[in-house]
Amino acid sequence: MEDNRKKLAKLSREEYRSVVAERLKAIAELHDLDTKVFAEKCGISTRRMKNLMNGTANLRIPEMLDISDAFNVGIEFIMGCYPYPLPMPKDETEAAVYELVGKMDMDELKEFKDRLGEKLKETES
């Protein structure tokens, strides 16, 4: 991740906005949300979210934290330092699982998310 941080530090403002925009789009797509619903879940106006997602606005730290909390993704992912739309791994086992998940395409990732959600509901019952 250190290499990613170094690369991130060298990005122009426009390049960084583009990275953040792509990450926000990925989170919304993963959860099958349009921009309006995604914005609502993040506590951000639709207009502002559209600007963030098209790379014409800077993401503020409180907004990043709200998105991170709403979708349980690490801020490192949103900023472009971490490749997976998941919380930062706590140990090597989680890191290995994340690496496997990271190799999935978007359709596989959505299916995995749905199946995992079903399993979690079963264990809660």
Neighbours of 11 (CB within 10 A): 13
Q: How confident is the model at residue 23 (pLDDT cuts 50, 70, 90)?
A: very high
What tens digit of pLDDT does each residue of 69-116 get?
A: 999 999 989 998 877 777 777 888 988 888 888 788 888 888 888 898
Please check whether residue 48 is in contact with residue 39, taking contact to mean a CB–CB distance below 8 angstroms. yes
Q: Residue 29: its pLDDT value, please?
A: 93
pTM of the predicted model, to two decimals?
0.74
Helices (H), 31-82: 35-42, 46-53, 61-71, 75-79
The most distant pair of C-alpha atoms in the chain lies apart, rounded to whole Å, by 49
Please tell me which residue, 2 or 81, carries the higher pLDDT value: 81
